[in-house]
Structure 1
Amino acid sequence: MEAYNKIVKNEFLAVENIPDREDGKARYAMFVNAYNNMDREHGGIIGGLTPQERWLQLQLLNTTPTRNRNRLKKSVTHVCN
């Protein structure tokens, strides 16, 4: 979350001229769409995927049969599995 806030600050707020609240909402919606769907390097996502592509990839992994899911999805960050 902190990394995303930094990106919003540096790549959106620092470069956009936002005259009013409604314009700001519209511009932010466009920024979020571009952030999630456009090809850009994301430091936390391996393989050059966009956040949307990574989310879809995880959804596919989560819909595989249980016996294959454990083989495909391993994480050292999950303490309770």
Structure 2
Amino acid sequence: MSTYLYLTRHGETVWNTKKLMQGWKDSPLTDNGIKQASQLSERLSNVTLSAIYSSTSKRAVQTAEIANAERNLEVLNMTI
């Protein structure tokens, strides 16, 4: 049996569009970022996932929750 790890980045944020560094600060997803998270969900729709992990940043959690919409898995937060 194989184990696969899928790494993704959060969707586009307001600060991304302004070319600002976010670091530990947070900026909300743009409409495009929400669309990107939905596209991620569609792209992974045929992939069996056993868990979804996210950093605690709002942008990452929102991306994970949108991508998780059809799966109904708990999004597990990880702190670094």
Q: Decide which structure has greater strand share.
A: 2
What TM-score results when the alignment is normalised by the length of structure 1?
0.25
What TM-score results when the alignment is normalised by the length of structure 2?
0.25
**Which protein, 1 or 2, shows the higher relative CO under an 8 Å CA cutoff with sep ≥ 6?**
2
Larger radius of gyration: 1
